[in-house]
Structure 1
Amino acid sequence: MGLTVIKSGLLVTLQDAGRYGYGRYGISAGGVMDGFAYRVANVLVGNEDGAAVLEITWSGFAVEFQSDMWVAITGGDMSPAIQDTRVPMWRPVYIKAGSVLSFQQRLSGCRAYLAVSGGFEVPMVMDSYSTYLRAEIGGYEGRPLQKGDVLNAHPSRLPRVSSGFPYDEAGTFFTVKWSVSADLYSINDQETVVRVLRGRQYDDFDSSSKLALFQNSFRITPQSDRMGYRLSGPLLRLSQEKEYVSEPVSIGTVQVPADGQPIVLMADRQTLGGYPKIAQVASVDVPLIAQLPPGGMIRFKEITLAEAERLYTDYIRELRMTEAMIKLKLKERANIGSSGSELRYGRELRRLPNWQ
């Protein structure tokens, strides 16, 4: 038993950490756009890293639970609710069979993640559960979820909640008293600073373009998707026209095509790119940019490779500490709903180069 899709929403797909090792065949790595929200969602419901989750873009999605189930919702805030009762995010939530969970209105970010304890039961394709839409493989029949789809789940890794546990006033779910606080997700759509390193062809651009990259803002256009964010802003031009040999690209690579408007490559990026690469988004800021909606503004800030490496080291240490604290809480199985506290994950890690 599992979930039945009641409303399909804008774009909802099954994703995991990605499909790696097949780039030489032209298969994109894909996977979740926001790796931090994905990992925390799985840990909150006792899953090992690699379990499939639902990536919910924008609002409008709704599912009915066919059995009692532990879930966790992380990422952007799409107003998850059951019978108009708000379902808390960033913590384990036990939802009763027959309940309809809906994502009603975007409040922050643009992608939410729904993990179920045990993980979704879907076939693995090329060592991954991820949906690769352009190749129509992975996930649920290689496509976005549609009304009427039924998703089964593996056996829960968390204990069932007995009748003695308190449910909310609507009688639809039970939630623990502790949570992860992720300040990153109170992002500002007006302008977000994204840290980047110089790209391989940075020096091939003229001086005015180099200045414009860091002194001006760029708007995310509606033509953006999981493959790449197309930006609108000052034109970025080469010092002289050149032909480039296609070479590997990664998530966060900032390419500049002939029209002079940059594209930030995202999860479903192509495996090779022949456009000049002016910048590379720092790994710790990829989840941040993944949560920015069309119309959002980006201002790039240059950092050094040493700063990027230090930030990434701090990010991994902080993430592992957060995961360890969650696992410690989940071991308190007999008192899973007790001991109120907040496990913090600070936004400053993504924003300040000198975070300690």
Structure 2
Amino acid sequence: MLDPAEPQLVVDSRTLHFSWLPADPDAVAALVPAGLRPRSDRQVFMNQYVVEDDAQTSGFGAYSLTYVGVTLSGADAPDGVTPGGWWTHYVTSSHRVRDYAVARGAPAVLGRTTIAIRGDSLVAETEADGVALIRARARVGHTGHAVRTGHNRYFTLRDGKLLSAVYPFVAEPVTPFEIESVEFLDPTHPIYALRPENPLLIGWGFYAPRTSFAYPGGLTPYPASTPAAPDGPGAHRVESTRPGAPESPRQRSATSAPARPDPARLDPARLDPVSPDPVSPDPASPDPVSPDPASPDPASPDPASPDPASPDPASPDPGLPGSGVPEPARPGRVPPPPVPGVGPENHQVPFRRARSGLPSGS
């Protein structure tokens, strides 16, 4: 078994990574443990990737992996903009990777992820225990001169303690890039709680045929903060619509007619990428500012100072890298005609054009 404290490097993985707003925000919020806070829009992220050859890793060997999780508020990556993420599901084809991830607190199980490309059509599928769970379809182009670099921050829970790690990455995204549909295939599986709403609203996304990243050595304990408090009604799926057209409310069945869009959800101060969390203060780090001898006992909290674990109500959620503020999700394009045999039991959401070129994950 690999030592979970040792770093691991992966190069040139094929990666499909994107985020969406969920059909059931309450169910998503319920998956976040006490000490972490989901974003107000309950944004969900997913990374499906494949490592073809043993020579592409420092110790994992060839493998495939899908992780899905909830975007967090108040726990950004080192850039202070890219939000952190809580892994809710983690499916890998490798026993070695599973054992390594479990030892680091990830909810890892065995399964398989495939990414097939024919012409400009990409299909990524994830299964666990022989049961198909998720299928994503996208239109993809070719890589150019663009290279995306940065860090993602992800959280896990081990022995009842929250842990955080920062994962550096380098990705070569393709252009153009467009998600066509996302299907959650098994309504009986717990992962179904993360299915996207209708119409599908995307935060960001990209496909990169070459993405390199590292699992850092060791993990950092994370101080507990306010427990996640679910808010917002649940919802289900429908077909996407053109920008400006009516969208379905969060509380409706799959057969309900769409309603007018929620202006609050489409506000530019809403949506942003789903990379790991903002960095919270490390309790082990000394205060860089020495206390004034004339001031009260430094061990006593200053009632005028905000709680560092609590978000500033006047501050918007972190936005897309470089923007400083979140970007709104927008309704998608008009979907193709319904596919015969696809019903509420197969949660399928035809999609809008996604933002491309945002960070990849580990």
Query: Shorter-chain TM-score category?
Result: under 0.3
The two structures have a TM-score, normalised by structure 2, of 0.26
The two structures have a TM-score, normalised by structure 1, of 0.26
Query: Which structure's relative contact order is higher, taking Cα pairs within 8 Å and 6+ residues apart?
Result: 2
